[in-house]
Chain A
Amino acid sequence: MSFFKQTLALTATGLQGVAERRGSSLVTVIGVTAVVGVLVSLLAIREGTDIFSEKNARPDVVDVISRGATSTAQSVLTRDALSAVERAPGIKHAPDGRPYVVANTLVSVDVMKKDGKRGNVYLVGLTPGAALVQSNVKIIEGRQYRPALHEVTVSEPIRRMYSNMNIGDKLKLLNTEWTIVGVFAGNDSIGDSVMRADADTVMTAFSRNTYQSASVQLESRASMQTFKDALTSDPSVTLDVRTQAESMKNNFGQLTSLLDFVAYFVGTVMASGAIFGALNSLYASVDARRREIATLRAIGFNSGPIILSVLLEGMLLSLPGAFLGALVAWVLFNGNVVDVAGLIFKLTVTPKLLLISIVWALTIGLIGGSLPALRAARSPVATALRAT
């Protein structure tokens, strides 16, 4: 008989045994389900933060921050510095001559979640250039804020997550009442976590005289170097220019690597537990068929197909757990909107995570099957045949 046929026949009888040992097989499936469920749930957080990753960055948009600042929150941009930015070469200009430059200022604001817990969002003050650089941000309800009137617009997720965030609601900050006049959607990734208002109005209300950073849309990607050289060689300002991708990496790189570490660390410890469980289950499977396997070996079956069949059994046994675990995580968490340190995003179970689940489940089955497979192939035929 060929290698392939032998393996097939052995695997088939092994799987018949699975039905007989329903209890222990079910335990293996549930064990793998738990591992994959937890792993996918934790990775779904990380996938959710993917909207803050470099791949969402616009290649033609660069951020200008004060030199030395590692994040936009720490940057300081004076009005003089902003004029220097607006005069720099390489910037895209509207037909009427306005440069594609938007400066912003951030204010952290405590707000109450609908469940009564305290959360916080950023109120971002934007100069009028926002309409040019962030033309993808559209008002979906109500209207745009107007300068000098203490009006703000909120993102759709903020309206859903926090109380008192509907159009017409008032927000009291430093004894000034701000009115929510509109809801916006569709924007740069962190834009979903913020409220927007006019920069000068925000700065007056919070007694500031400096902006924090600026975003600039260039004529083309090629003008990046010209723009950067002009600004960094200007002795009157101390500024750094970063591509949007670099900014995002700087601001969120640590967060994503921390989330990755937690998910894979917890996953690995759980998976090792599941491997021990699978080992036990497959040892039982092999033990129950000792005589059968010995007989087959006596009549000429090779040890290769025997080993392979046990490994296959292990992998087939753990495979349902991959789908079940991913399904559980998807049902429970996919699309849940969460906020971490003021950033709002959706937990996302992506096809990539299903693929990771399958790889993990197969690995658990493979390792879980390895030792029992060797035992099956090695136990002396004579002894095994005498076993009761």
Chain B
Amino acid sequence: MKYLPLVWAGIWRKTSRAILMLLQIASAFLLFGLLQGLNSGIKQAISRTHSDRLYVGSSVSFGVPVPISLLPQIKAVPGVKYVTPLVQFPAIYQKQGQGIPMNGVDPEAFFGMFSDYVVTPKSAVETLRSSRTGVILGSIQAKRYKLKVGDRLILQSQVPRKDGTNAWAFDIVGIFDVPDQPNGANAAVVNFEYLNEARLADRDTSLLYIALAANPATAGAVGKAIDAKFANSTYETRTQSEGDLVSSQLQRIADIDLIVGGIIGAVFFALLLATGALMMQSIRERVPELAVLKTLGFSDRKVMGLILTEAVLFCVFSALVGLGLAAVILPAAKTFIGLTAMPAIVFVAGVGFAIALAVIGGSVPAWRGLRLQVAEALAGR
């Protein structure tokens, strides 16, 4: 501890150089924090999913409609508590850019299995079940467009209706909120029956079914039992857990791990060389000073230790500046990934990388410090 002032003085020996180096390291860790933060935010979202919710779709591909006749058969599989069909229609409210997705479901089963959705008033689910044109609207949309229970909601959908129009009229019977997932409350949950009867194409089919396993521990077996029931039938199914579904959808878009890894790799490689070279230069300039330390009785190891401590402190401090900046910026991406704070693991990993950077980059100069011959160094040779 008593060497701290010495280490501190070493860091700021050349102020402008230290500041530039700090900024260089900080910008690398800013990028690391943002990319890795996004990546682990997505992973966290996947791990937060409910393993007892099973998504049953066509084995051809999710999105190929499955007939509604499958619904009672899935319900009959032992261990299944609730089943709901799910059709999703993209729709807009009033004008382009104001999108509200319409989710057509069996209201009772849907809100039964999405028990984390809070519906007000409580009776709304029952009302929606009995009314064809009811809608329970997500609180985000209700707030955004100042809509309340009792209002009429007219949505324009791309999905054409039998009558040739695109307008779908609903009465708002309730508002739902998703406290765990603030971005989840953005859809309009409506009655599957109504959408199904009015649409032009794909009548009596569902995009997929969501089934709730009575016991989360046996969800995997229940999923297999569902698929086994339809094996070799015309409509073979493929059942995925919520987490599998989300990760396979993401995988379909891009191999995020690979891209993030590649970028971070290139950044750190360049940074390692930069810090290494700069530390070499700094030590070279300080050879006489280090020699003085040795003359004063500092052991070889202590000099080496001082150099390494300086490197580690500096790199960790700079890394924290970058990571801190990333933590401030990252929540701005909330709307895309539902991340409210940078995961702690990213901080831990970042500090780990910073220490590794300092030790690897600083080892050659520290070795030189260790090998320093006092007489030669003082003579300036």
Chain A residues within CB distance 8 Å of chain B: 23-24, 26-27, 30-31, 33-35, 37-38, 41, 66-70, 74-76, 78, 107-110, 117-120, 173-175, 206-210, 238, 266, 269-270, 272-274, 276-277, 279-280, 283-284, 340-342
Q: Which of A78, A266, A276 contacts B21 (CB 8 A)?
A: A276
A345 to B283, CA, bound (A): 50
Contact A210 B158 (CB under 8 A): no
Contacts A23-B281, A68-B158: A38 and B251 contacting too (C-beta < 8 A)? no
User: Is the CB–CB distance between A69 and B158 below 8 Å?
Assistant: yes
Q: A269 contacts B274, CB within 8 Å?
A: no
Please determine whether B30 and A269 come into contact, CB atoms closer than 8 angstroms. Answer: yes
B-side interface size class: 35 or more
Contacts A27-B278, A175-B235 aside, 10 further interface pairs with beta carbons under 8 A come to: A23-B280, A26-B277, A27-B277, A30-B270, A68-B160, A74-B90, A173-B60, A266-B31, A277-B274, A340-B254
Q: Name the residue on B nearest A237 (C-beta).
A: B164
CA of A126 to CA of B159, assembled, Å: 21
Q: A30-B273, A68-B158, A118-B248 are in contact. Are A283 and B16 (CB under 8 A)?
A: yes
CA distance A340 to B252 in the complex (A): 6
- State whether A108 and B61 are in contact (beta carbons under 8 Å apart), knowing that A27-B273, A280-B278 are contacts in the complex: yes
Per-residue interface assignment for chain B, residues 16 to 28, with 1 indicating a CB less than 8 Å from any chain A CB and 0 otherwise: 1100110110011
Chain B 53-69 near chain A by CB (<8 Å), digits 1 or 0: 00000111111100100
Q: Which residues of A contact B248 (CB under 8 A)?
A: 118
Contacts of B34 in A (CB 8 A): 269
* Docked complex Cα distance between A70 and B159 (Å): 10
By a CB distance below 8 angstroms, the chain A residues around B67 are: 207
Q: What is the CA–CA distance of A38 and B16 in the complex, to the nearest angstrom?
A: 28
> With A38-B263, A273-B28 as given contacts, are A210 and B201 in contact (CB-CB < 8 Å)?
yes
Q: Is the CB of B253 within 8 A of A175?
A: no
Given contacts A34-B267, A120-B252, A270-B267, contact A110 B60 (CB under 8 A): yes
A110 contacts which chain B residues (CB < 8 A)? 59-62, 238
A107 touches B60 (CB 8 A): yes
Show 23 A/B contacts (Cβ-Cβ < 8 Å), sorted by A: A27-B273, A41-B262, A68-B156, A68-B166, A70-B90, A76-B159, A76-B201, A107-B61, A108-B60, A108-B63, A109-B60, A110-B59, A117-B251, A175-B234, A208-B202, A238-B166, A270-B28, A273-B270, A276-B20, A277-B274, A279-B20, A280-B17, A340-B254
Residues of A within 8 A of B251 (CB): 117-118
Which residue of chain B has its CB nearest to the CB of A255?
B253
Docked-complex contact B274 and A31, CB < 8 angstroms: yes
Tell me which residues across on chain B come within 8 A of A24, comparing CB atoms: 277-278, 281
